[in-house]
Amino acid sequence: MFSLSEENYLKSIYHLEAIHGKGISTNSIAKKLETKASSVTDMIKKLAEKEVLVYKKYQGVSLTTLGRKEATTIVRKHRLWEVFLVDKLNFSWDEVHDVAEQLEHIKSPKLIDELDVFLGFPKMDPHGDPIPDKEGNFQKIEKRLLSTLEEHKTGICVGVNDSSSDFLKYLDKNNISLGQKIKVLSKESFDGSLTILIHSKEITISKKISNNIYIQ
């Protein structure tokens, strides 16, 4: 059984491994969890004893199979709760994160599997992220950043890279949502900003924005 804190470490390391591969540094974990590197060292030692990750002084950490399984379960719970909040309780996609962050720590295998049934085994959460099934498997969808799309080409928004309320509200304001067609009209080479066509309206978005939108 893992504490709330341990679960949050596992989840963060899992997400960091998805981006950077094995060998996650103490500092990057500290940044992600908004804590201090010294706290991370302490916790890492504890988690290594529980055999959910491998740790060698001054080298990064890597999840074991056991650790990855545990982390996947937490991610599954988080994303299923997000679907519940949006589909059943009228939450918008920018309101779900903080609540799901709490709900993901509820311990009850029956709860989460019945929730999955109740929701109709959804494959995606409201931000386009895949939901692992009971066994921890999920489909990896093809996607690329909007910022990599060439001029005059069109893509369909399939996900976001940042689930903060601020960013999602910005997207809402500009009518950018999942399934939305986006055409790149022009690219400014100086700052990487894009002028795009969305809902037959032209808008210009910064590189930072286009770096957080996934298309297909």
Enumerate the β-bridge partners of residue 184: 196
Cα separations (Å) of 120 from 60, 114, 144, 156, 213?
39, 10, 28, 24, 27
80 makes contact with a second copy (CB under 8 A): no
C-beta separation of 10 from 76 below 8 A = no
Query: Rule CB under 8 A: is residue 86 a binding residue for a second copy?
Result: no
SS3 182: strand
Give the x-and-dash track for 94-123 against a second copy (CB under 8 A). Answer: -x--xx--xx--xxx-xx--xx-xx-----
Question: Which one of DNA, a second copy, none is in contact with 71 (Cβ closer than 5 to 8 A by kind)?
Answer: none
Compute the distance between CA of residue 89 and CA of residue 83 in angstroms, rounded to an integer. Answer: 9
Q: Does 102 bind DNA (CB under 7 A)?
A: no
Distance CA 210, CA 212 (A): 5
CB of 31 to DNA, least distance (A): 9
Compute CA 181 distance to the chain's CA centroid, rounded to the nearest angstrom: 22
90 contacts a second copy (rule: CB under 8 A)? yes
CB of 102 to a second copy, least distance (A): 5
- The least distance separating DNA from the CB of residue 57, rounded to whole angstroms, comes to 4
Q: Tell me, what amino acid is at 141?
A: I
Out of 25, 165, 195, 211, the only residue in the binding site for DNA (CB under 7 A) is 25
CB within 8 Å of 113: residues ≥ 6 apart: 134
Is residue 39 at the binding interface for DNA, with CB under 7 A as the rule?
A: yes
- Using rule CB under 8 A, residue 138 touches a second copy: no
| CB burial readout 40-52, b (16+ within 10 A) else e | beebbeebbeeeb
Residues that bind a second copy (CB under 8 A): 85, 88-91, 95, 98-99, 102-103, 106-108, 110-111, 114-115, 117-118
Residues that bind DNA (CB under 7 A): 3-6, 8, 25-28, 35-46, 55, 57-60
